[in-house]
Amino acid sequence: MTGAPTVGRIAGCLGLLVLGLLTGLAGWLVVDLWFPGGLLLALLALLGLFLGGRLALGTGLGVGGGAVGWFLAYVMLGVPRPEGDFLLSSSGIGMYAYLLGGTVLAVMCATISLPADRPVSAARSVK
């Protein structure tokens, strides 16, 4: 499923971007509420998003759409508003663990070799 971008693949990337944004918003809030369990829950949600995007689109671009949305959620929640307040604080170790863990999961899912990615050898194709 490689080649030129199709309308379906572009729509899939945009859908994954929105799912990444929603997963990121929920994840950043859960990590702050319940530190050890919330971090694990948020990382599992990211793993499902990234691996699902990789399998759905068949390339690493499926991971990219979700990762961009997830990072946009971090930027939106972490930037202070003109009034001086912001939603995410940088005081907890959970935020850094979620940022690093999500980045590691995105790279792992983007570079993983799936069985469908491997070429079929001539010896295996003949029965």
How far is it, in rounded angstroms, from Cα 53 to Cα 16?
7
pTM of the model: 0.79
**Per-residue confidence at 31, pLDDT binned at 50, 70, 90?**
confident
Half-sphere exposure at residue 95, Cβ-oriented, CA atoms within 13 angstroms: 15
How far is it, in rounded angstroms, from Cα 49 to Cα 83?
34
How far is it, in rounded angstroms, from Cα 64 to Cα 16?
8
pLDDT score at 18: 94
Range in 2-11, 60-69, 94-103, 105-114 the model is least confident about:
2-11
Q: Average pLDDT for residues 112-118, to the nearest whole number?
A: 69
97 close to 39: Cβ distance less than 8 angstroms: yes
How far is it, in rounded angstroms, from Cα 122 to Cα 67?
37
